[in-house]
Chain A
Amino acid sequence: MSKTTQETESQNPNPNIILFLCRWCSGKGADLAGTSRLQYPPNVLPIMVNCSSRIDPQHVVEAFLEGADGVLITGCNFGDCHYKTGNYKTFRRMSILSKLLKQVGVSPKRFRLTWISATEAAKFAKTVTAMVDELKKLPPYKINGKGGEEL
């Protein structure tokens, strides 16, 4: 019985999140979550790049256009970037992008940027779990006039 109540509560039981990992910190953090056997929902699909600064805002937009329900970008903590200042650039680029996304009606809950060090496996699992939980409460993201809460 409890299952049915849960289902009515969540508008989207299976959100689909694109997760960007950097090779040095957050990617290692995600691997450590595996080695430590921490559990998190399987709704995140990882894409690894060398540095979070490789992620073009266009990639995020593309993910939403292709039907992702959310995008989570992760990188090294400030000061830890393997490429000196990559994460600062990511921060600046993605801050502007998040404003734009909001303006065109994408809920800010769907787009997140967070810093995870190679040892912060627990933070990684927690961040992913929290984002999946949030997105379960939102309807599936649809674009091109097919409904959804945003457009």
Chain B
Amino acid sequence: MKVGVYLCECGSNIAGTVDLEKVAESVKDLPNVEVSRIYKYKCSEPGQELIKEDIDEFNLDRIVVAACSPRMHEPTFRTVLEDKGLNPYLLEMVNIREQCSWVHKDVEKGTEKAAALVKGAVLKSAAIKPLGRKKVGVTSKALVIGGGIAGIQAALDIANTGYEVVLVEKDSTIGGKMAQLDKTFPTLDCSACILSPKMVEVSRHPNITLLANSEVTEVDGFIGNFKVKIRRNPRYVIEDKCTLCDDCVPVCPVIVHHEFNEKLAPRRAIYISYPQAIPASYIIDPKTCLGIEPLVCSKCKDVCEPEAIDFDMQPEIMEEEFGAIVVATGFDTYPIENLGEYGYGSIHDVVSGLEFERLISAGGPTEGVIRRPSDGKVPKTIVFIHCAGSRDPAKHLPHCSRICCMYSTKHALMFKQLDPDALAINFYIDIRTGGKDYEEFYQRAAEEENVMFIRGKVSELIQDVDKILVRGVNTLTAESVELHADLVVLATGMVPSEGTKEISKILKLSTDIIGFVREAHPKLKPVETAITGVFVAGTASGPRDIPDTVSQAGRAAVKACNILAQKELEVEATIAQVDELLCRGCGFCVESCPYGAIELKAIDRYGHSYEIASVNEAVCKGCGSCAAACLNGAINHLGYTDSQILNLIQALSEG
């Protein structure tokens, strides 16, 4: 056995705090060490060449590289070994940057620690063995969870590349939040006009299977081979038979709030969210319908000529396999109920941004005429309060949601366009217009359309007869402001949707404090997640606007296709292995395995039948829990065997 030790200076990142000469000196006399070298950037091409040359010259069969975190360059150096015909697992990496030079300033102690760690790795390397890289097939089909603009775009992009996609949407229709918008900033494009063609494309695309009114309930497996359970909730209306004639709606006796219209309008228990909904079919809300267990009303069924209504539909559980998953579960707006200080709940004419969006929408409950919720009058003065519940870590959300400045400006501008004599007043903390043409849009609102902007916070809203007294402060003039408004709009920010929270739990994605899915790297891996093969697009990973969401969805789709395009993938080689002679068949490992990868199987030993443990290599993920549970030391965790860990412990424990 011949070990080569390579110490990386990483410019001054490591060499600044660790005296590598001393470390090199200390490893010289360790057993099996044939050569040790220091180099400025070991990961560079010449740095890698050095290792290759040494492998030839000294016939090295174990390589120890002390450099940055293995998360950065373990794959790089493994390739070096592979290029030279060595097994890639004969590499041992020591992290002397993130966990040594960067966290200690004392050169002497830092050097001591680095030397100890390198010594540990050299001793451990004596016990490492070549491992076989296993390959598994890839199911070339993608799952997209969430049917908002992010999910729609990702599904279309994957499908257009030529792979099958299943798009799962919890709601009765795809479209998401974007479908609720009237116009989009800064171009004032009609939201439905740009969205609905994409929705129709989804429903017609031969590669896309759309499962609306469905939920992902369980995900198992790994990259290339996810096993997913999807619950298809009953629609009670047969999609193919429904002709959208609307005969069922007038006869339905149940009237409830319409969620799509932010509860500003009623709907029946049988309804369609909005006319352009996809799938284009009515749906019965089982919570309020009187026809579903017990059947006390069947008026809609009676009038339905195509006989599309079926009260006996049951939830179906589907099981399917996928190669990659895109999470596009989106956002909710910050619950406006939390904003009691702005009178929500006690003052009728305080509405949220999304409620205002429905009020101003041509397809909304008021058909585009802004009417106050309290008395239906058309307001002449509207106050828009920016950052309502945002940038307020003490009481509400700490973050900026990136879109609220723009959508409030858009609302104010649209209101002014409807009624140029009206007053639109924005109270803001800062105006953030970080997007293409956003600043110009804001300038246009302020200068050409006479939208007022007051820098300052609103302190109080008081109902004053039929108006709202708004008290605030103008921080630029240091004067207090008091004015009467007919309607107040609170620009609420984004929080992760319930679906985002649920799916993070199901997929075991890590999230931030607010609950947004965390990216694998905030800059360089913006759509990758902690789980390989699972990608995130759009507002599920944080507040963003439509253009960013669409581009993210495109990247997520490409990333998913990268996986689907491969015939087979290499899987974890560091898995559990049973020493059949030592196993006594107690089954402790079977109980400890979180994946059910171990089972007891009968073998014949000297004419007697014994039960011993057996590992399913395709299912084992390599946590090593079974190896710790085994009392006989009969299960070993390849890559982390007892002898390797004990060698390390021995080397590091000697004080």
Best-buried of B70, B100, B594, B653 by chain A (most CB within 10 Å): B653
Is there an interface contact between A125 and B625, defined as CB atoms closer than 8 Å? no
B621→A83 contact, CB < 8 A: yes
Residue of B nearest to A58 (CB): B642
Q: Are A38 and B103 in contact (CB under 8 A)?
A: yes
A34:B103 contact, CB within 8 angstroms: yes
Query: Contacts of A99 on B, CB cut-off 8 Å?
Result: none
Contact of B624 among A14, A33, A42, A50 (CB under 8 A): A50
Contact B649 A63 (CB under 8 A): yes
Give the docked Cα–Cα distance between A117 and B628 (Å). Answer: 22
Say whether B592 contacts A47, CB under 8 Å.
no
* Cα–Cα distance between A40 and B95 once the two chains are bound (Å): 16
Q: Which residues of A contact B112 (CB under 8 A)?
A: 42
A11 on the interface (CB 8 Å rule)? no
From A39, which residue of chain B is reached at the shortest CB distance?
B103
> In the bound complex, do residue A50 and residue B640 qualify as a contact, i.e. CB atoms below 8 Å apart?
yes
Interface residue from A85, A118, A140 paired with B594 (Cβ < 8 Å): A85
CA distance A131 to B312 in the complex (A): 63
B642 touches A50 (CB 8 A): no
Q: Does A74 contact B (CB under 8 A)?
A: no
Contact A59 B649 (CB under 8 A): yes
Q: Decide yes or no whether B120 CB sits under 8 A from chain A.
A: yes
- Is B99 in contact with A82, judged by CB distance below 8 angstroms? no
Given the contacts A45-B117, A118-B510, A53 and B69 also touching, CB distance less than 8 Å? no
Determine if B116 is an interface residue (Cβ-Cβ < 8 Å). Answer: yes
When chains A and B are docked, how far (Å) is the Cα of A86 from the Cα of B70? 22
Given A39-B105, A59-B645, A84-B594, residue A34 in contact with residue B653 (CB < 8 A): no
Give the complex CA separation of A37 and B508 in angstroms. 28
Q: Residue on A with the closest CB to B114?
A: A42
**A39-92 contacts to B (CB < 8 Å):** 39-42, 45-51, 53-59, 62-64, 66-69, 79-86, 89
Check A86–B623 contact: CB distance below 8 A: yes
Q: In the complex, A39 Cα to B430 Cα: how many Å?
A: 35
Q: Does B574 contact A (CB under 8 A)?
A: yes
Give Cα A28–Cα B521 distance, bound, in whole angstroms: 12
Cα distance, A41 to B71, chains bound together (Å): 23
The answer on a CB contact under 8 Å between A119 and B512 is yes
Cβ-based interface call for B393 (8 A):
no
| Interface: B364 (CB within 8 A) | no
Write the chain B residue with the least CB distance to A14.
B655
B103 touches A33 (CB 8 A): yes
On chain A, the residues within 8 Å of B650 by CB distance are 62, 66
Beta-carbon contact of B574 and A50 below 8 Å = yes
Task: Assess the A62–B103 pair: CB atoms within 8 A.
Answer: no
A31 contacts chain B at the CB level, 8 A cutoff = yes
Name B652's contact: one of A47, A49, A83, A86 (CB within 8 Å).
A47
Contact at A34–B98, with CB atoms within 8 Å? Answer: yes
| B103 pairs with A37, CB closer than 8 A | yes
- Chain A residues with Cβ below 8 Å from B648 are 47
Do A89 and B98 have beta carbons less than 8 Å apart? Answer: no
**Residue among B103, B510, B642 with most chain A CB within 10 A:** B103
Let me know if A45 and B113 touch, CB within 8 A: yes
Q: Using an 8 Å CB-CB cutoff, how does the interface string of B635-655 with A read, 1 for contact, 0 for none?
A: 001001010011011101111
Q: How far is the CA of A24 from the CA of B624 in the complex (A)?
A: 14
Q: Is B625 a contact partner of A89 (Cβ separation < 8 A)? A: yes
Minimal Cβ-Cβ distance residue in B for A64? B653
B622 is an interface residue with CB less than 8 A from chain A: yes
Indicate if B610 sits at the interface (CB-CB under 8 A).
no
Taking the closest CB of chain A, its distance from the CB of B638, in whole angstroms, is 11
- Asked if A4 is an interface residue, CB under 8 A from chain B, the answer is no
Residues of B within 8 A of A118 (CB): 510, 518, 530
Scan residues 47-87 of chain B and give those whose CB is less than 8 A from a CB of chain A: 69-71
- Report A-chain residues with C-beta under 8 Å of the C-beta of B646: 59, 62
Contact assessment for A82 and B530 in the assembled complex, using a CB-CB cutoff below 8 Å: yes
In the bound complex, CA of A123 to CA of B609 (Å): 52
Check if B110 is an interface residue, CB within 8 A of chain A: yes
Chain A residues whose CB sits within 8 angstroms of the CB of B116 once the complex forms: 45
Chain A residues near B95: list those with CB within 8 A.
Answer: 31, 46, 48
Asked if B649 and A54 make an inter-chain contact with CB atoms under 8 angstroms apart, the answer reads no
Is B482 interfacial (CB-CB < 8 Å)? no
A93 interface residue (CB < 8 Å to B): yes
Cβ of B592: which chain A residues have Cβ within 8 Å of it? 53, 89
Q: A119 to B445, alpha carbons, bound, how many Å?
A: 41
In the complex, the chain B residue whose C-beta lies closest to that of A118 is B510
Tell me the bound Cα distance from A35 to B625 in angstroms.
30
Indicate which residue in A18, A48, A80 contacts B649 across the interface (CB closer than 8 Å): A18
* Candidates A54, A59, A62, A67; contact of B655 at CB < 8 Å: A67
Determine if A51 and B625 form an interchain contact, defined as CB atoms under 8 angstroms apart. Answer: yes
B100–A42 contact, CB under 8 A? Answer: yes
By the criterion CB–CB under 8 Å, are B645 and A46 in contact?
no
What chain A residues lie within 8 Å of B505 (beta carbons)? 79
- Residue with the highest number of chain A CB atoms closer than 10 Å, among B110, B505, B624, B646: B624
Is residue A30 within 8 Å, beta carbon to beta carbon, of the partner chain?
A: yes
Task: Note all chain A residues with C-beta closer than 8 A to B97.
Answer: 34
What residues of B have a CB within 8 angstroms of the CB of A16 in the complex? 652-653, 655
Would B98 and A31 count as touching, CB distance under 8 A? yes
Bound-state CA distance A57–B649 (Å) is: 13
User: What residues on B are CB-neighbors of A117 within 8 Å?
Assistant: 510
Q: How far is the CA of A28 from the CA of B510 in the complex (A)?
A: 12
- Judge if B25 is at the interface, Cβ distance under 8 Å: no
Cβ of B104 within 8 Å of any chain A Cβ, yes or no, is yes
The distance from the CB of A54 to the nearest CB of chain B, in whole angstroms, is 3
B654 neighbours in A (Cβ, 8 Å)? 66-67
A51 in contact with B649 (CB, 8 Å): no
The closest CB in chain A to the CB of B572 belongs to A50
Are A83 and B625 in touch, CB under 8 angstroms?
yes
B109 at the interface (CB under 8 A from A): yes
Is B594 touching A35 in the complex (CB atoms < 8 A)? no
- Chain B residues within 8 Å of A41, by CB: 104
State how many angstroms separate the Cβ of A136 from the closest Cβ of chain B.
Answer: 13
Instruction: Please state if B99 and A30 are interface contacts (CB–CB under 8 Å).
Output: yes
Name the one of B120, B508, B624 contacting A80, with C-beta atoms under 8 angstroms.
Answer: B508
* Distance between Cα atoms of A34 and B106 in the complex (Å): 15
Q: Report Cα–Cα, A105/B70, bound state, in Å.
A: 37
Which of A16, A35, A47, A64 has its CB near the most chain B CB atoms (within 10 A)?
A47
Q: Is the CB of B655 within 8 A of A34?
A: no
**Residues from chain B with Cβ under 8 Å of A33 in the complex:** 98-99, 103
Q: List 24 A-B contacts (CB under 8 A).
A: A16-B652, A16-B653, A30-B99, A31-B69, A32-B98, A33-B99, A34-B98, A47-B645, A50-B640, A53-B625, A54-B623, A54-B627, A56-B627, A56-B645, A63-B652, A63-B653, A66-B653, A68-B652, A81-B508, A83-B594, A83-B625, A86-B623, A89-B629, A140-B655
Closest 8 CB pairs of A and B: A34-B98, A54-B624, A66-B653, A83-B623, A53-B625, A51-B623, A34-B102, A16-B655
Residues of B within 8 A of A (CB): 69-71, 95, 97-100, 102-106, 109-110, 112-113, 116-117, 120, 505, 508, 510, 512, 518, 530, 574, 592, 594-595, 621-625, 627-629, 637, 640, 642, 645-646, 648-650, 652-655
Given A42-B113, A62-B649, A80-B508, 14 more A-B residue pairs with CB atoms under 8 Å apart are: A28-B71, A30-B98, A31-B99, A42-B109, A50-B640, A51-B623, A59-B649, A66-B654, A67-B654, A68-B649, A69-B655, A79-B505, A86-B594, A117-B510
